[in-house]
Amino acid sequence: MNERAPLDILDTLGMWEATATLPEQLSGALGAAGDAFGRVTPVGGGAFRAVAAFGLGSGGVACAAAGAITAPDLTVPFWVGQGSAVPAFVGADTLVLVVSSSGATAETLTAAEKAVERGAMVVAVGGEPDGALAALAADAGMPWCPTPARSEDRPRGGDGSTARAALGATTVPLLVALARAGLGRDRAASVRAAADSLARRRDALLAPGGAPEVLARRLGRTIPLVYGSAGVAAVAAHWWKTQVNLNAKAPAFAATLPALTQDELAGWGQGGDVTRQTMSLVLLRHAGEGPRTGGLFAAVRSAVDEVMADVFEVQGEGDDEVSRFFDLTFVGTLVSLHLAAGEGVDPGPVPAVDEAQGPGWF
């Protein structure tokens, strides 16, 4: 397995390795969550009537992914928050999921503390045993699942970049917790299938001249605009955007079908002489799309054909939402790493975000 960056590529914090080990990350997270979580029930007994999930950065994407993956069979409403404000409905009959890859995200820790005060069952994911989230979980008696420890032979950066790459390690425990709470079906088999599929595809995707490298080269210095249909592809589109921002240190944007056909699509009616030089569109597709989605994508292609530098389509592989989500995000992260490599950019350090947020922002 080729886990490391191609030769002569700047990567001081090991982002290539952290990305390439996603299949093992999925399998490891399944085992860790199985060990961490028993039966999850409301503090005062009875049944859960809602789920509230809190996270920022990769933790926020994990929350959104868990909601999208479980939506077809989830038996209660699923709300995602990206700050410290806890809505009024959160109480003793609410399952609260708090996710921080680093275990130190200030807003997420505050939300967890407030939820505990409200009497909610809080399940925590992220960080290491000596981290703030683990300590809070221990004090409150709430279940906690770690994210993988950092390798000792890799430099420790102030931003903890490999922790922000732990999308699999933070998403899978949420799926396990929801199943243990009786709010959705057991997706362990789906996670294993996703890990196996990615392990089979990994060498081809990482190989020189592989699809992610080709797409990155064709995107060049244009600004990627990533569109995905509502559900896992929309969450994956947002992940692509964040990875281009963080790894390549470049602008990128994301939007969701069908919502973008209600407004954003109209915005491409002017300025084509500018956008043709600066923007490229990436469409994230998969076999589980709704019946109208293909027609909407066709309409988007028609509307932007003359105003984009190019339009690319990426097909997510897999037989269910779990596999398709992780396949799309894996490819997107590799594209962002190739974009960084093409410009000689170190994907790990993110000084602009560190300065704005301080440690523990992920």
Asked if the structure places residue 143 within a domain, the reply is yes
Helices (H), 84-131: 106-117
Q: Residues 73, 89: one domain?
A: yes
User: 148 versus 2: which is more confidently predicted?
Assistant: 148
Q: Residues 79, 225: one domain?
A: no
**What pLDDT shows up at residue 5?**
60
β-strands 121-125, 50-55 pairing: unpaired
Q: Residues 239, 131: one domain?
A: no
Residues of the domain holding 213: 201-342
**The domain that contains 265 carries what CATH number?**
3.40.50.10490
**What pLDDT shows up at residue 163?**
82
Round to whole Å and give the CA distance between 82 and 306. 36
For the segment 26-42, the average pLDDT, to the nearest whole number, is 96
> What is the greatest pairwise CA distance in the chain?
62
Asked if the structure places residue 6 within a domain, the reply is no
pLDDT classification of 4: cutoffs 50, 70, 90: low
Q: Residues 309, 174: one domain?
A: no
Round to whole Å and give the CA distance between 214 and 82. 34
**What pLDDT shows up at residue 353?**
85
Neighbours of 126 (CB within 10 A): 30
Q: What are the structure tokens assigned to 165, written together?
A: 């790459």
pLDDT in tens, 192-232: 999 999 999 999 999 999 999 999 999 999 999 999 999 99
Q: Residues 159, 240: one domain?
A: no
Tallying the residues shown for the chain, one arrives at 362
Assess whether pLDDT exceeds 80 at residue 159: no
Closest CA to 224 of 334, 302, 309: 309
Q: Residues 189, 206: one domain?
A: no
Report the SS3 class of residue 123. strand
For residue 303, give the amino acid letter.
Answer: A
Assess whether pLDDT exceeds 60 at residue 71: yes
Q: Residues 82, 212: one domain?
A: no
Assess whether pLDDT exceeds 60 at residue 1: no
Helices (H), 281-349: 293-304, 321-342
Round to whole Å and give the CA distance between 66 and 164. 17
Enclosing H/E stretch for 97: strand 94-99
**What pLDDT shows up at residue 133?**
96
Q: Residues 268, 320: one domain?
A: yes
Asked if the structure places residue 4 within a domain, the reply is no
Burial tier of 159 (Cβ tally within 10 Å: 0-12, 13-18, 19+): buried
For the segment 268-289, the average pLDDT, to the nearest whole number, is 95
Q: Residues 186, 147: one domain?
A: yes
Q: Residues 142, 285: one domain?
A: no
Burial tier of 20 (Cβ tally within 10 Å: 0-12, 13-18, 19+): buried
Q: Residues 100, 146: one domain?
A: yes
Asked if the structure places residue 247 within a domain, the reply is yes
Enclosing H/E stretch for 192: helix 188-206
Asked if the structure places residue 362 within a domain, the reply is no
pLDDT classification of 187: cutoffs 50, 70, 90: very high
Asked if the structure places residue 292 within a domain, the reply is yes
Round to whole Å and give the CA distance between 104 and 50. 25
Round to whole Å and give the CA distance between 358 and 360. 7
Q: Residues 210, 184: one domain?
A: no
Q: What are the structure tokens assigned to 359, written together?
A: 């440690």
Enclosing H/E stretch for 225: strand 223-229
pLDDT in tens, 235-247: 999 999 999 999 9
Composition of the chain by helix, strand, coil, percent to 5: 50, 15, 40
Q: What are the structure tokens assigned to 19, written together?
A: 């990305």
Asked if the structure places residue 227 within a domain, the reply is yes
Number of domains forming the structure of the chain = 2
Q: How many helices (H) and strands (E) does the chain have?
A: 14, 9
Give the C-alpha distances (Å, rounded to integers) separating 293 from 8, 229, 241, 284, 329: 42, 7, 21, 11, 20
Q: What are the structure tokens assigned to 127, written together?
A: 């960080």
Bridge partners (DSSP) of residue 13 are none
Asked if the structure places residue 5 within a domain, the reply is no
